[in-house]
A and B are shown apart, each in its own frame.
Chain A
């Protein structure tokens, strides 16, 4: 329960931070199948899928480290599904925002990863 609350708080902070940068929120906590997209925002031409990671302690490493290959794969699947439904030809990218709950510090990582390569 405690973690879920801090997660929601982190997402609020992240959204406020990005909206201050000129992003427009077009969706929050969107479920696509089994996967979830924390924030879907519009930044100019781009649809941005934002993964928010909130932590109250560094005991488990940096928040961004939690966006590992498995998490990326599930985000890519979700984003693919979202785009197919809403905007098949749009430019898209993945950003990561990490939030330190205690200090309310926000670190923003643009284009954190891509949908893989061959």
Chain B
């Protein structure tokens, strides 16, 4: 007898339909799995056998052949345990034929017949639903993620017995309730009001967050670079549902959603140590898994001690910084992941850290300083829209009793600016200014004569590149959005130019 069960597979975060075909025939008892299974799929034999037996059903003593179609795509992981088990039960006549034909089955089996959570359920469920699978049976532990897909009938199950009884109409499946989205007010350990002084840097951070621009903080030790960066999550704009789904998909693939209920409600803040390898940062490994930049999608990638990262690691960031996506190609796998992140980098101006300090003398030679700063290459620096120098905070600022502006107030402004951007780009398929494609910049940044003159002057004086020119326009657009202005004006351009002043005459000129 033959049984056909619908299941799903993943390649990166893109999914493909998998048909689990089970054939039971006479002959010597054997069990073959074909259709490019990996080790985890092959091992399913032992889990399936034990789970069927321990759930009170009979494992057929026959020649069992399992085909995972399409046969030329690699199948990974334990997601096919449940469809295989149900297929074997159907093919051996223990459940009525065709009773699972309108359903998609996903899940790993334990030896006792329990159904265990798997990775990557959200991308699979979203893609499957788009392809017309309305009913999805999946592990209880994954119900939270999938229940946000409105219109889909999600049936969470805990044991194989429960699935069989549901399919045989001996018991009812209990569908998971469709959850509606709400962004949460997360508590953050750092708040903007705790940062003394550094008004300029705070303003720069606000602009960067409002438009999703990259920012480089350069400053002496103890000037508050790390503190500022760590409080950036507290002013990040609220997550929209579409963004949350996209982020959760990526996190689901690497298994970060295990044990979490539902989908991510906060923008990610990733802060890898500077020992990170290129594969860890941009993604890689034999199966082309996403890296930190994709996990920071729609959030912040914070690289502290920027020049301490290995050269090749930093240069690997260039392409994704520009395109917002990254394609990882390995001998056995290739995957494209979104990587629209906001880069926050922090560095000292020189090896001893005191170059440009008002208090402490720098001990470095000009050559040392040069070598240190050259670790950040021109093309990389070119992609950082906002570069800001921070020096020590004065005593009056530190001892000041007046509290600074709280994060909530800043976030309110950021949210307002993001709202304006979302409405403007509704038909463009993007969400914020940093994503504007270069060819469409002129549609949203109209310059008057005065701004045009200012920009042409800066272009010559600062030796700007064409990329820097475009990025100045985008930052100016964000500054205008923060002020609620419809057009970019000279003062917006001027402020945006000022954030690039470190570009070529480099740092420490204070």
Contact = CB atoms under 8 A, between A and B. Distances in A.
A92 B30 contact: no
A90 B26 contact: yes
Interface residues of A, number: 18
Given A46-B61, A117-B45, A93 B29 contact: yes
Interface string B445-489: 000000000000000000000000000000000000000000000
Interface residues on B, range: 10 to 19
Contacts of B62: 91
A91 B29 CA distance: 8
B30 A115 contact: yes
* Closest 6 A/B residue pairs (Cβ): A114-B29, A115-B28, A117-B31, A115-B30, A89-B26, A91-B26
Interface of B: 25-34, 42, 45, 61-63
24 contacts: A76-B28, A79-B28, A80-B28, A83-B27, A83-B28, A90-B26, A91-B62, A92-B26, A92-B29, A93-B61, A94-B29, A111-B61, A114-B28, A114-B29, A114-B30, A114-B61, A115-B28, A115-B29, A117-B31, A117-B32, A117-B33, A118-B32, A118-B33, A118-B34
Contacts of A114: 28-31, 61
A116 interface: yes
A11 B155 CA distance: 54
Contacts, number: 46
A88 B27 CA distance: 7
A116 B472 CA distance: 67
Contact of A91 (B33, B42, B61): B61
Nearest to B62: A91
Nearest to B46: A117
Contacts of B32: 117-118
A45 to B, nearest CB: 9
B33 to A, nearest CB: 7
Interface in A70-107: 76, 79-80, 83, 88-94
A32 to B, nearest CB: 13
B48 to A, nearest CB: 11
